[in-house]
Chain A
């Protein structure tokens, strides 16, 4: 198991290198840049612009810029956001944390609802509950996140029960610790629900079909033939096997959550990584774009890594192959 984890960790390095290189190349191929656009500003002298360009190595070819970035990033310095005028590391950390919170709670909500519902639907196949779940899943899969997010905004505006956008209120600094916690939770509710709703349907259907598959397996008949109570047969023998493919999906669902977070964050003004990436791209703050893409990749890889480890822990056959 130890070598398995180590191997997986080492696999991350080439992926991160590749993604950062590709992003750097793409950014350098797009015309213009934040500093170049300063040239149009008559209040800033040409010398200042040239000085700034040189300072951040924007005057050099892209691969030299990349090597500078790589050297600094290896030391934990992710460059300087020329748009926000603060070190990119600080900016990214705060935004990464927000996106992480959003994805984490959305995952928890989606899985805690979807898995039991999927099991219930499979055990009571073709019942009224099963059909109702299928209906809800169909709607859930068909409605895009954008629409859901807009509906949630309308709901917040109409009722006033939830804040419209943002991660904290304007008087956050005046609050006590407990009030701050409540304030953040209050802001989290709607984005989490929107993001979770789009995840839920898929996981539920997957859980249902996995369990139905394993309930047909021969080892389930064998377990019944031993004289095990039906509850044990379903929840021990069948469910334990039905979970394994779901753990693989956990990795994918994380990717889906992150891309979903890009949309939800932008519509619901959640100050997360997705929003930052798009802001940085619009402003041509290329260093920040690379940083946030690399961070999103890292988040995704770590999520997949967690899924792999869980799968190896759950399925002895995987552990041995590695």
Chain B
């Protein structure tokens, strides 16, 4: 049994005729110790899918229309508030995009970490344990840092604090929602290095959400590419990077600048990401797709396993 098994998740914002389906039939699994990268442009539904694992999307305005989110075999969508609180932090922890906004500005960082400990490992809610966690995420002189307020730290330090806070409860799954997007490039590399190191040491599963294919190769075991609320390609990371199958994935890869290649200009994907709720008929990518055929605008393709472990939502992938 995989640690996380999302089956045909459907989520809408709003009600009735104005309802907008932000996540439409998303399914993926994460095994214990595995790292899955969820890749896609802004507004493709990747963050909402990830927040759904602990049911953190506010309802209303959102509404779960269908599907199951099995965490350790229990459906998160059927849990009551008490059960939800025990899995939040207890089984799945989150690291968010903007560390300066995700830490509460008026509490000392040590206390914010201790709060997690009190909830999930009360016998370890001590300064010593907080210091151990800060050392684990590579904060220098942790003894003097626990009494700092978030604004006294740099962005990279703040993100390390967020990671320490997420790890405090010893979760089985760490969800990192664009953890490096708000940081400098050099700090990005450090944070990714830290995540990879922690994953090996703590045998955690990681769900890493990113819009940057560049970091996929560093850390991911498998990759799911999302477009307009659907997964369009799901594949082992190495295979996907070597030979992307879906036209959207190929287009994404072409738009990543590469060192050592002489290129006149970067390849951009023509057109725009469709707005939520205004998805085109048939394949949602067909208006921007270089390989589109005449029937792409008529028939919505299914996600099909075309090679062992490789799933593609495109009948013309060859």
Contacts and interface: CB of A to CB of B under 8 A. Distances in A.
B267 interface: no
A228 interface: yes
B165 interface: yes
Interface footprint category on A: 20 to 34
Interface in A254-283: none
Nearest to A232: B115
A205 interface: no
Interface string B56-97: 100000000000000000000000010001111110011010
B106 A224 contact: no
Nearest to B119: A227
Contact of A225 (B54, B86, B101, B152): B54
Contact of A226 (B51, B115, B152): B115
A47 interface: no
Contact of B89 (A225, A230, A237): A225
A245 to B, nearest CB: 13
Given A226-B115, A226-B119, A317-B149, A218 B88 contact: no
B106 A314 contact: yes
Contacts of B102: 218-219, 221-222
Contacts of B284: none
Contacts of B169: 226-227
Interface in B4-36: none
Interface string A189-231: 0000000000000000000000000000111011111111110
A314 B104 CA distance: 13
Given A227-B90, A227-B169, A228-B119, A217 B101 contact: yes
A240 interface: yes
Contact of B85 (A229, A240, A244, A320): A229
A241 interface: yes
Contacts of A315: 105-106
B231 to A, nearest CB: 23
27 contacts: A217-B101, A218-B98, A219-B101, A219-B103, A219-B105, A222-B94, A222-B96, A222-B104, A222-B162, A223-B104, A224-B56, A224-B88, A225-B89, A226-B89, A226-B115, A226-B116, A227-B86, A227-B89, A227-B90, A227-B119, A228-B85, A315-B105, A316-B149, A317-B105, A317-B151, A320-B149, A320-B152
